[in-house]
Amino acid sequence: MNLLTFVNFYPGHYPVICLRNKSIMFKKIAFLILFLPGIAHAQSSAIGQRTFQYRDSLRDRPVSTEVWYPTDADADKASTDPEYPFIRVPTIRNAPIPLKKFPLIMLSHGTGGGRLNMEWLADILVQKGFIVAAVDHWGNTYDHKTAIDFVTPWNRAQDISFALTQLLQTRELDQAIDSERIGAAGFSIGGYTVLALAGAKLSLESLNNFTETPLGMKEIALPEFPNLKTMVNKEEVRASFEKAPDLKDKRIKAFFAICPAIGQGFRSQKQFESIHDPVYIVGAQSDSIAPIKTNALHYQKMIKGSKLLILPGKTGHYVFLNEARDQLKEKEKQFFMDDKTVNRHHVHQQVGNEAAFFFLGILR
């Protein structure tokens, strides 16, 4: 059975669940025929990789940014460090950037992660003809954790917008990025991040009220930061929230949110009235970190016209992290080992292809 379950909501009706909808498949086949020449060319290219160390002086924080891109360099030069902990497509460090325009996808990692945690998605998108840029969200990464940065997610959207501005002003990249074709994808709190960039407006009061409920206490008990709630200064959080600007970034035209979190910070459709661009939401049936009832399903119900994809069965939250090599997998089982019925590689391929199809359809 195909791992993907499409769920569409219709006003006044229960969810309709279907596998391999023929109409959807026909549209995809027609679309692929139309765009096949460009896609085939992209898939024949090697993947270049560069790291940019930006700094947002106004907010006094670094915004390290990893960029993957199609390159015409010799694919035989691609490599992976033998000590690299993740399974990945080999890349060519600092390879030449082609003198042509590509659509750009900004990528936001999950809480306590890092810019390399979803390289699987970057690989798939680059092979389909995109440039992908992923940022480190300072204070909310695996190697730099501060309590305040774990509970002020509005800073993340500002990271993405800042990095985007820098990329468009960086020599070489500005000639390769098509500034009219920009999308964003994110996982977990990164899913919220891209929805904020789309125009979603969080209610801190609603979120705080939810975290005081038994279900909310469970959701805020993050394995990436044990005892987080006891270390948070609520007044400091509120001051940060009130200082944050409007997070909507009009340069970004399509949004792909994977297991988006903090859904209970949104109680009214008015909080989404600024969203005018396409949104695609992905959830996992057995997600215990950002349960679909209070997150993916809730967001899709609130955001008019949004698409929803639920992966069924034992598919959990962390399946969207990279595939790990055996040593890391054994050390961090919670993050890198899945139920025996779930094939992480297959999930990545299917969701990555869905993301590529979605972005190709919008960013033409």
In eight-state DSSP terms, residue 86 is: B
Give 293: exposed, middle or buried? Use CB within 10 Å, 0-12, 13-18, 19+: exposed
Mean local confidence (pLDDT), 175-197: 97
Q: CA 306 → CA 28, 161, 167, 214, 280, distances in Å?
A: 18, 22, 28, 29, 6
Gap between the Cα atoms of 109 and 92, Å rounded = 22
Q: Residue 70: what pLDDT?
A: 97
Decide if pLDDT at 39 tops 60.
Answer: no
- CA–centroid distance for 24 within its chain: 23
Dihedral of the alpha carbons of 77, 81, 87, 89, in degrees to the nearest 10: -10
Q: Residue 28: what pLDDT?
A: 52
Gap between the Cα atoms of 161 and 149, Å rounded = 17
CB neighbours of residue 40 within 10 Å: 10
Q: For residue 5, what are the contacts with CB-CB under 8 A and spacing of at least 6?
A: 17, 18, 19, 309, 310, 311, 312
Average pLDDT, the chain: 88
Residues 179 and 238: beta-carbon distance below 8 Å: no
Q: Given pLDDT bands bounded at 50, 70 and 90, which one contains residue 12?
A: very low
Decide if pLDDT at 290 tops 50.
Answer: yes
Q: CA 180 → CA 106, 165, 219, distances in Å?
A: 14, 13, 37
Q: Residue 285: what pLDDT?
A: 98
Gap between the Cα atoms of 158 and 137, Å rounded = 10
User: What is the percentage of the chain residues whose pLDDT exceeds 90?
Assistant: 75
Q: Residue 44: what pLDDT?
A: 53
Q: For residue 249, what are the contacts with CB-CB under 8 A and spacing of at least 6?
A: 157, 160, 161, 164, 184, 197
Mean local confidence (pLDDT), 220-248: 85
What's the distance, Cα to Cα, between the start and end of the chain in Å?
Answer: 32
Residue with the bigger pLDDT between 136 and 174: it is: 136
Q: Residue 27: what pLDDT?
A: 52
Q: CA 247 → CA 8, 63, 160, 231, 250, distances in Å?
A: 28, 17, 10, 26, 10
Tens digit of pLDDT for each residue in 220-233? 777 887 777 777 78
Q: Residue 149: what pLDDT?
A: 84
Question: Considering only CA atoms, which of 118, 244, 253, 135 is closest in space to residue 188?
Answer: 118
Decide if pLDDT at 36 tops 60.
Answer: no
Gap between the Cα atoms of 347 and 84, Å rounded = 22
Residue with the bigger pLDDT between 60 and 5: it is: 60
Decide if pLDDT at 180 tops 80.
Answer: yes
Tens digit of pLDDT for each residue in 42-77? 555 799 999 999 999 999 999 999 999 999 999 999
Residues 184 and 265: beta-carbon distance below 8 Å: no
Cα torsion angle, 225, 228, 232, 234, sign: positive
Tens digit of pLDDT for each residue in 299-325? 999 999 999 999 999 999 999 999 999
Q: Residue 172: what pLDDT?
A: 86
Decide if pLDDT at 86 tops 80.
Answer: yes
Q: Residue 15: what pLDDT?
A: 36
Degrees, nearest 5: CA angle 191-222-331: 100
Q: Given pLDDT bands bounded at 50, 70 and 90, which one contains residue 81?
A: very high
Decide if pLDDT at 119 tops 90.
Answer: yes
Gap between the Cα atoms of 58 and 55, Å rounded = 9
Decide if pLDDT at 4 tops 90.
Answer: no
The pTM score is 0.88
Q: Choose the weakest-confidence range: 97-111, 142-156, 214-228.
A: 214-228
Domains of the chain: 5-362 (3.40.50.1820)
Q: Choose the weakest-confidence range: 175-179, 194-198, 214-218.
A: 214-218
Decide if pLDDT at 25 tops 80.
Answer: no
> Which amino acid makes up residue 251?
R
